[in-house]
Each structure stands twice: as structure tokens, then as C-alpha cells.
């Protein structure tokens, strides 16, 4: 999106009073341009100010001023804010070295801090605090502690907040006293209360959370810190892939979909800078299950800078309150999530909010979600969030992986919904005999392409076979167009031949019979739309007809060059569906032109009914090897047998009789010591006449 588009959209949101949408668009503009334009930061400050968020307004103006120090009007805005901003509150992160006993019911307190051992950040080794909240877990708690002790990063402190557990958990705490920097055991108000306590005790530059059922692999902290420090711009949060049981879940790039779905993001993979916790604040203790997701959404909405580490070092175990392993818990999860959706999008009804949450578990709600999106199309941020959420469901959720039997069923619904939300169809997963459709479309989207430039066209070549031994002229043409022109050339084919001998990087193998028609039509449409095809070169009119039979009902009439050869021309002499297609469809389209490899074939096309001005004579491309091996005048010295090989159908226009006449002349003027071998197929009309001539 261009800078002007960002500003135009932002201004439209501001005029409509849609401050959250304006804020979101400016955050995207800053991320999309690397934060280099002061105007985006200034306008974001204006939006924060309009919403009464003075601290974030000042931070945005500070960014703008740093990028444009001469902007006196920004200096004035900062001065005005400074007169209105109250004294900053105490930081959330690292308030205490020992937590005050506010309950009067503390069971235990211990760790290295009680012996005066306080950790600090060191040059190039920022201190990282890991916080574990635990209650009555004597089965997996020791495994969790062991994973922290095994961290390879040399500057980690460990805080444990226990909610007043019985003896088994307390025994584990005391047995690991030397490995824990600080722990307390006292009643609290739930897991988020315990997390908040732990963060208030964190001395680290960065903070990580680790629940007592889960564990980190040894390099978790090391790789997370390396990612944070290696980033070009400051990073507030590093997050990464994780294991859900034995299944690795790839964390996705953060977008507005996080406002409705989790995008495979788990907050226990987070390495959070302390300033981010100070800015976003504590987890809501009024929520019992989804406060972590609410915190992530706030961090995203308020412009925190995330960095994704595509490696997995966190192992998540099921069984906690959020696992939904009872009807009561499931109902609580649904209600809490729906209520949080309605806080961000208050126009949603309770039923709509619950439906959107349940979508991740079953596609039975997909069409309903589409209807909800249509009803609230006037809310751009919601539409963007729903598009991101649908992408996540199609791409990542198990309930959305279709069997091949759904090609004429749910698959069509998935395609329609994806198109309605602008979701890339490469995320639709349906099984085919050639593998998952998502991987096939992904391979197409990832084909190398030349950069866009004026005059450059993207050309799709099509042939049934690529590359047949006798059709090197097709391979040569595609290769020369790719190597010697500015244009992009992609080759689509059905049957592979000589792929090792004739390599071509931008080739798509689409074996039509291996796919259901509903699927292969979408593959073809994806090629045209995703690669931005401007022109089709159909090698042989017969191949163009075959292609039309498969995908013609898509209505994609791309400008086409139909390169005709002998078989194309002579089949036009017979009534057939092929002739009807060429003469009554292709010849009638203004964006179709034909080529013939000789004047003879051009005349035959005209005789068949094609207009002469629609045909260009274009001889086949000749490979350089032809010239390297071409015979010269002194080739034959008369001292050895001359052997010739001729390949081609035995039909009149192939010219075998002229070859035999030439050899007769060669015999009379030079020598009769020669052998002629003719290999033929698909036509022997001239066989008897040629035998008689040769005799």
C-alpha cells in the first residue's frame, strides 16, 4: 500500500470517528515502512491524544521528533502534553524484591534473594526472568523446574508464585530452593493474579512466563534473546513456534487476525521487554481463562513491536483450566472469549461473538461467519480481523483439512468464503492424489518472478507434453523468451518428458486426470490470478482446445497466441468439436492471434476459413546445436557409406518424395553408397507411393 493510501484511509477513519481503525491503520503503516516516516508517528500521536491516551501520544510524538528534529510544531505538541501528563505511575515490572505479605496466610517464602543474592543484567547479557505460577501440582512441576535449570543462557533468574498448595508442591519448592531466586506460597485470586505477582518481582530486562505443566527446551532463552538483540529495530516481544504435545505448531506472523484467533501464538513462548509490561500493564484478574489472549491483543493494538522466531523451544501440555476438559469449563471458555470479542467489537451480538469463537473448532460455522462479516462490513478493522481469523482456520486448524471427497462439496464453500474475505486460496487444504492443495498452490505462489517494470509481461506457455523429444522448438522458444527478453515465462504442462535434460525453473506440472475438476479449475485460476498472467502462448491449437475443455467455464479470456503446426491445420479439414472451437470461438475473439510455421500452413489456415490478417508466419525456433552440427560442402568424401535418418508422419506435406528425388540426384552425381531410414507414426498415407518411388 502506498503512503497516500495509508493516509487517505486514516483520514477517512478519523472523519468517521473510528479511532481504533485509524490507530490500527497507522500502526500497519509504520510497520510496513520500517518506521521511517515521521508523519505516521505524528498522526498516531494525534489519534492516541483524541482517545485520551496521553502517554502513548507522547511516545509517538517522540518518535516523530527524532525523525524530524526541525519540526517545531511537534515540539509544541510535546510541550503541551508535558503540561497535561500526570506523574508516571510506578512501573508494573520489578516493583519488589520480596513480595509484601498482603494476605496474612503465607505458607512459605524462599530462594536466593533471601540470602542476599540478587541478579543483575550484565553487558551483552541482559537478565531474563522466568516466572512460574503453580497450584497443587506435584506430578509435572519438577519437570518444569528442571527445564529452567537446563537453560543454556547464563543470566536467568527464576521466580515461582504458588497459590497456597498442599504439602506435595511445597516439598518440591523447598527441594529446589538453591535453583530458585525467589518463591512464595500463599492464597491468590487465580493464575493471572499469580502471574502479575511474579512480574512485579521480576528484576530482568526481559520476562518469560512458564506454567508448571509445561517446559522449555534448553536453548529457549538463548535463542529468544539472540533474536531480540539481532533485530534492526527495538523489539518489545519475541515469540516462537511451540510443541502442542508431539505436534509442532508454527507461530504465524502477527496481523489483525489475533483480535479473534490465536494464530498459533502461545504467550509462554514470549520474551517480553520490561518496558512493554510497564506500558501494557498487568493481566486482567477478572478473567479466569483468556486474560493472556486479551493482553496479547492489547499489546498488538497498542503498537508493540513483535519479532517472530521460527523455531520451537516451548512444550505445551494439556490439562489446565483453558483445556476445556469439562462441560463447565467449555462453557466458561466460550463465554469469556465472546465477552472479550464484544469489548473490542461492541456491535457484535452475544450469539455472533460465540459463533465466531466456535468457528475454530468446526467449519459448520463458516458460512455464518461469512454472513456476520457481511452484516458488519462497515467496520474495516473487524473485517480485517475476521479475514485474518478465517486465514488461520483454513491454514492451521485441524477441522478445516478437507478429504478429497469434498471437492464437489465443502471445497466450493471454502473458495467462496476465502474470496469474500480476500484470503489467499493457498491456505485451503484439500487432499488430492498429488498431495495437499495448499502445498501445490504454495509452490505456484513461490515461483521465481522477475521484478515488475514498464513493458514487462507475464506469459503462460501451455502444452500437453513438456518437453517431447520432437518438440525441442517449444522448449527453445520458452527458454529464449525467458533468457533474452524482459518478460516472465511460466510453463504449464500435463505430462512431463525430458525434464532433467531440458530443465526449466518456472514450470508447473498439472496432471489434470489426477484432480477433480473443481480442484484443477481452481489451480488454473490461481495460476492466472496469483502470477498475474498477461498473455497465454498455446503451443499447438489442439492443446489450446484441450485447455479450454478443462477450464473454459471459468470465463478467463486471457490474450492468447495460438501457435499452430501441421496437425492443428489439417484437423481443421474435418468437422469436429475442435474445428468448431477454433473457427467459432478462438477466431471470433479479438484478443487471439495465430501463428503458422510456414507459408504453406498459413495458406491452409486461410483455406480453412481463418482471416489472413489474424495469422503470422513464424518459423520454429532453431536450437544453436543445429548450426553447430550442420553439414558443410566437404562433409562427405565419398570414402564411406552415407547414412540418413528421417522422422515424421508419411503424409504428403512432409516432403518425403522430395528427399527421395534428392537422393536419386546424389546417386547419379556422387555415389550410390548410402542408406536412408524412415521412422514414421500417426500417418502412413504416402507409404505405398514412397515404396514405389524408392524402388
* Residue tagged 505516521 (cell numbers): 40
pLDDT in tens, 280-307: 999 999 999 999 999 999 999 999 999 9
- For the cut 90, the answer to whether the pLDDT of residue 38 exceeds it is no
Beta-carbon contacts of 286 under 8 Å, excluding residues fewer than 6 positions away, are: none
Q: Please, how many CA atoms are within 13 Å of residue 436, restricted to the half-sphere of its CB?
A: 13
- What pairs with residue 508 in β-bridges? 492
Contact between 309 and 220 under an 8 Å Cβ cutoff? The reply is no
Over the stretch 556-571, which tens digit does the pLDDT of each residue have? 999 999 999 999 998 9
- The CATH class for the domain spanning 3-82 reads mainly alpha
CA distance 91 to 172: 31
How confident is the model at residue 558, as a pLDDT?
96
The whole-angstrom separation of Cα 508 and Cα 520 is 12
pLDDT of residue 83: 83
Q: Does the pLDDT of residue 231 top 80, yes or no? A: yes
Higher pLDDT, 186 or 320: 186
Is the pLDDT at 84 greater than 60? The verdict is yes
β-strand 271-273 against 306-316: which pairing, if any?
A: unpaired
CA 584, chain centre distance (Å): 41
- For residues 59-70, give the mean pLDDT: 88
* DSSP at 511: -
Q: In what order do the strands lie in the sheet with 560-563?
A: 507-509, 488-496, 458-466, 535-539, 560-563, 592-596, 615-617
For the chain, domain boundaries = 3-82, 108-323, 346-432, 441-617, 631-694
Q: What is the mean pLDDT of residues 149-173?
A: 97
Number of helical (H) and strand (E) elements in the chain, helices listed first: 26, 22
Q: How far is CA 677 from the centre of its chain?
A: 56
| The most confident of 68-77, 327-336, 521-530, by mean pLDDT | 521-530
Instruction: Report whether 456 contacts 486 (CB < 8 A).
Output: yes
* % of the chain surpassing 90 pLDDT: 72
Q: How far apart are the first and last CA of the chain?
A: 75
**pLDDT at 35 exceeding the cut of 60:** yes
Crossing angle between the packed helical segments 38-50 and 72-82, to the nearest 10 degrees: 30
One of 3.40.50.2000, 3.30.70.20, 3.40.190.10, 3.40.50.880 is the CATH number of 441-617, namely: 3.40.50.2000
Distance CA 547, CA 538 (A): 9
What pLDDT does residue 343 have?
Answer: 93
Q: What is the predicted pLDDT for the residue at 681?
A: 76
d(CA 516, CA 550): 11
Residue reference for cell 479470456: 557
Contact 261, 389 (CB under 8 A): yes
Mean pLDDT of the 605-619 span: 94
What is the pLDDT confidence band of residue 33, given thresholds at 50, 70 and 90? confident
Q: How many CA atoms lie within 13 A of 310 on its CB side?
A: 3
pTM of the full predicted structure?
Answer: 0.80
* Angstrom distance (rounded) from CA 513 to CA 434: 11
**Whole-angstrom distance, CA of residue 290 vs CA of residue 256:** 18
Give pLDDT tens digits for 220-229: 999 999 999 9
Cβ atoms 595, 561 nearer than 8 A = yes
Is residue 357 a contact partner of residue 337, using CB atoms and an 8 Å limit? yes
Mean pLDDT of the chain: 92
Q: Cis link prior to 467 (omega < 30° from 0)?
A: yes
Around Cβ 250, how many Cβ atoms within 10 Å? 15
CA proximity to 670, closest of 618, 619, 616, 633? 633
Q: Kindly list the strands in the beta sheet with 401-402, ordered across the sheet, starting from the edge strand earlier in the chain.
A: 401-402, 429-432, 435-436
Cα angle for residues 111, 115, 120 (degrees, 5° grid): 80
Beta-carbon-side half-sphere exposure of residue 225 (alpha carbons within 13 Å): 23
Q: Torsions phi, psi of 157, nearest 5?
A: -115, 150
Mean pLDDT of the region 9-28: 86
| C-alpha cell of residue 358 | 466456535
Helix (H, G, I), strand (E, B) or coil at 513: helix
DSSP codes joined into one string, 121-163? -BTTB--EEEEEEESS--SSHHHHHHHHHT---S-EEEEEEE-
- What is the SS3 assignment for 103? coil
Res 626 pLDDT > 70:
no
pLDDT value at position 14?
A: 87
The CA distance from 329 to 232, in Å, is: 43
CA atoms within 13 A on the CB side of 587: 18
Contacts of 436 (CB under 8 A, 6+ apart): 401, 429, 430
User: Band of the pLDDT at 694, cuts 50, 70, 90?
Assistant: confident
| % the chain with pLDDT above 70 | 96
Q: Where does 108-323 sit in CATH, by number?
A: 3.90.550.10
Task: State residue 669's pLDDT score.
Answer: 83
585 confidence band (pLDDT: 50, 70, 90): very high
Amino acid at each position: 500500500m502506498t503512503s497516500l493510501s495509508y493516509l487517505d484511509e486514516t483520514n477517512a477513519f478519523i472523519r468517521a470517528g473510528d479511532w481504533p481503525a485509524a490507530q490500527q491503520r497507522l500502526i500497519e503503516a509504520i510497520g510496513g515502512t520500517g518506521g521511517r516516516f515521521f508523519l505516521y508517528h505524528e498522526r498516531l500521536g494525534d489519534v492516541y491524544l483524541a482517545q485520551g491516551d496521553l502517554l502513548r501520544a507522547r511516545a509517538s510524538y517522540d518518535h516523530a521528533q527524532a525523525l524530524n528534529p526541525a519540526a517545531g510544531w511537534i515540539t509544541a505538541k510535546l510541550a503541551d502534553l508535558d503540561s497535561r501528563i500526570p506523574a508516571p505511575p510506578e512501573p508494573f515490572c520489578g516493583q519488589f524484591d520480596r513480595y509484601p505479605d498482603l494476605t496474612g496466610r503465607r505458607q512459605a517464602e524462599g530462594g536466593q534473594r533471601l540470602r542476599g543474592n540478587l541478579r543483575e543484567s550484565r553487558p551483552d547479557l541482559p537478565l531474563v526472568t522466568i516466572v512460574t505460577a503453580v497450584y497443587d501440582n506435584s506430578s509435572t512441576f519438577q519437570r518444569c523446574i528442571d527445564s529452567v535449570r537446563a537453560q543454556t543462557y547464563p543470566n536467568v533468574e527464576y521466580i515461582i508464585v504458588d497459590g497456597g498448595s498442599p504439602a506435595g508442591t511445597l516439598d518440591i519448592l523447598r527441594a529446589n530452593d538453591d535453583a530458585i531466586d525467589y518463591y512464595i506460597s500463599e492464597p491468590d485470586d487465580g493464575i493471572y493474579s499469580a502471574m502479575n505477582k511474579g512480574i512485579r518481582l521480576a528484576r530482568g530486562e526481559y520476562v518469560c512466563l512458564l506454567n508448571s505443566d509445561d517446559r522449555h527446551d534448553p536453548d529457549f532463552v538463548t535463542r529468544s534473546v539472540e533474536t531480540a538483540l539481532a533485530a534492526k529495530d527495538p523489539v518489545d516481544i519475541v515469540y516462537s513456534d511451540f510443541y502442542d504435545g508431539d505436534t509442532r505448531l508454527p507461530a504465524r506472523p502477527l496481523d489483525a487476525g489475533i483480535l479473534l484467533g490465536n494464530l498459533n501464538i502461545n504467550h509462554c513462548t514470549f520474551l517480553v521487554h520490561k518496558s512493554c509490561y510497564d506500558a501494557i500493564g498487568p493481566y486482567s484478574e477478572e478473567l479466569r481463562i483468556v486474560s493472556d489472549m486479551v493482553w496479547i491483543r492489547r499489546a498488538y493494538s497498542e503498537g508493540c513491536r513483535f519479532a517472530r522466531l521460527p523455531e520451537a523451544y516451548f512444550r505445551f501440555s494439556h490439562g489446565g483450566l483453558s483445556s476445556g476438559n469439562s462441560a463447565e469449563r467449555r462453557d466458561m471458555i466460550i463465554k469469556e472469549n465472546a465477552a472479550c470479542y464484544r469489548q473490542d467489537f461492541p456491535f457484535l451480538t452475544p450469539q455472533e461473538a460465540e459463533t465466531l469463537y466456535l468457528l475454530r473448532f468446526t467449519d459448520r460455522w463458516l458460512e455464518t461467519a461469512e454472513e456476520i462479516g457481511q452484516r458488519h462490513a462497515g467496520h474495516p478493522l473487524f473485517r480485517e480481523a475476521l479475514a485474518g481469523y478465517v486465514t488461520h482456520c483454513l491454514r492451521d486448524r485441524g477441522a478445516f483439512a478437507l478429504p478429497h471427497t469434498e471437492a464437489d462439496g465443502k471445497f466450493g464453500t471454502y473458495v467462496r468464503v476465502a474470496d469474500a474475505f480476500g484470503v489467499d486460496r493457498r491456505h485451503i487444504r484439500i487432499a488430492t492424489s498429488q498431495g495437499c492443495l495448499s502445498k501445490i498452490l504454495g509452490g505456484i505462489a513461490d515461483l521465481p518472478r522477475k521484478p515488475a517494470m514498464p513493458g514487462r509481461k507475464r506469459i503462460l506457455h501451455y502444452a500437453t507434453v513438456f518437453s517431447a523429444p520432437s518438440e525441442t522448438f517449444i522448449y527453445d522458444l520458452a527458454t529464449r523468451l525467458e533468457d533474452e527478453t524482459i518478460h516472465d515465462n511460466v510453463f504449464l504442462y500435463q505430462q512431463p518428458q525430458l525434464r532433467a535434460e531440458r530443465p526449466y525453473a518456472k514450470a508447473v506440472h498439472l496432471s489434470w486426470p489426477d484432480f477433480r475438476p473443481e480442484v484443477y479449475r481452481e489451480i488454473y485460476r490461481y495460476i492466472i490470478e496469483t502470477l498475474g498472467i498477461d498473455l497465454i502462448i498455446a503451443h499447438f491449437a489442439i492443446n489450446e482446445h484441450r485447455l479450454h475443455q478443462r477450464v473454459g467455464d471459468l470465463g478467463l479470456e486471457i490474450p492468447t497466441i495460438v501457435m499452430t503446426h501441421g496437425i492443428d491445420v489439417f484437423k481443421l479439414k474435418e468437422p469436429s468439436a475442435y474445428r468448431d472451437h477454433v473457427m467459432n470461438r478462438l477466431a471470433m475473439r479479438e484478443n487471439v492471434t495465430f501463428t503458422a510455421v510456414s507459408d504453406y500452413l498459413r495458406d491452409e489456415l486461410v483455406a480453412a476459413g481463418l482471416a489472413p490478417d489474424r495469422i503470422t508466419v513464424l518459423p520454429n525456433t532453431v536450437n544453436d546445436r543445429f548450426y553447430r552440427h550442420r553439414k558443410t560442402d566437404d562433409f562427405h568424401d565419398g570414402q564411406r557409406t552415407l547414412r540418413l535418418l528421417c522422422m515424421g508422419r508419411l503424409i504428403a506435406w512432409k516432403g518425403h518424395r522430395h528427399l527421395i528425388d534428392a537422393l536419386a540426384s546424389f546417386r547419379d552425381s556422387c555415389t550410390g553408397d548410402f542408406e536412408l531410414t524412415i521412422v514414421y507414426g500417426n500417418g502412413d498415407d504416402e507409404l505405398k507411393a514412397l515404396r514405389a518411388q524408392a524402388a
